[in-house]
Amino acid sequence: MERVESSKASRYLYAVLIYFFLWIVLTYPFSIQEWEAGAVIAFLGAFFSYRQLSVSGVKNVKRMGILIFWYLPVFTWEMIKANIHVASIVLNPRMPIKPGIVKIKTNLKSPVARVWLANSITLTPGTLSLDVEDNYLYIHWITVKAKDVEGATREIAGKFERILEAMFK
C-alpha cells in the first residue's frame, strides 16, 4: 500500500514540475507574480490531471517530463526554421514553391503517438497533415523536396518520430 501511495505522490510531483516549467517558459518576462500564479496553477492542474497523465499512452510520468523537455526544443527549432522558410517564399517575387501531396511512413505503433506526429507536422508552417491511413500519413507540403516515401519521411517526420517513439513506448 505504501508503494502505491509513493507512486501517486511522485506522479503528482512530476506533473507539478512539468506544468510549472511550461508556465514559466510560456510567460515571459519573469516576475514574482507570474511565478506565484504558475505555482498555484501547476498544483491545481496536477491535482486534476496527474492520474490521466499515466494512462494516456505514456507509461511513466518521469519519462514523459524528460521527453517533453526534449520534444519542445526540437519542435520549437523546427517551427522557427519552417517560419523562416515560408517567410522567404512569401517575400520572394517569384514565389519559388513546388506544392504537392507526399506520403510518409511512420513506425509509431500508438494511435496517440500518430496524432502527436500529425499535429506536429500540421503546426509546422509549410506542411499540413491530410490523412492517416495505417502506417502512412498524407502531407501537403509547400515545397516538395523528396517525392519518395523514405525521403519525404526523413525530411518531414524524422525529427519528431524518434522522440515520439520513445515517449509512447
pLDDT at 6: 55
User: pLDDT 10s digit of each residue in the chain, 169 long?
Assistant: 445 455 777 778 888 888 898 888 888 777 889 889 999 999 998 888 877 665 444 456 666 676 778 888 999 999 999 999 999 999 988 888 889 999 999 999 888 889 989 999 998 899 999 999 889 999 999 989 888 898 889 889 988 998 888 887 7
Could you give the CA distance from residue 84 to residue 23 in angstroms, rounded to a whole number? 26
Residues with Cβ within 8 Å of residue 56, at least 6 apart in sequence: 112
Grid cell for residue 159: 525529427
Three-class DSSP labels, 7-50: HHHHHHHHHHHHHHHHHHHHCCCCCHHHHHHHHHHHHHHHHHHH
Describe the strand order of the beta sheet including 100-105 as a list of residue ranges. Answer: 100-105, 136-141, 127-133
Residues with Cβ within 8 Å of residue 79, at least 6 apart in sequence: 123, 124, 125
Q: Which is it for strands 127-133 and 100-105: parallel, antiparallel or unpaired?
A: unpaired
pLDDT at 70: 84
Residue type for position 17:
L
pLDDT at 57: 46
Angle at 72 between CA 61 and CA 105, to 5 degrees: 90
Q: pLDDT by residue (tens digit) across 89-102?
A: 999 888 888 899 99
pLDDT at 60: 65
Could you give the CA distance from residue 85 to residue 56 in angstroms, rounded to a whole number? 34
pLDDT at 56: 46
8 Å CB contact between 38 and 27: yes
Q: pLDDT by residue (tens digit) across 48-82?
A: 887 766 544 445 666 667 677 888 899 999 999 99
pTM for this one? 0.66
Could you give the CA distance from residue 48 to residue 165 in angstroms, rounded to a whole number? 27
Q: Residue 128 pairs with which residues in a beta bridge? A: 140
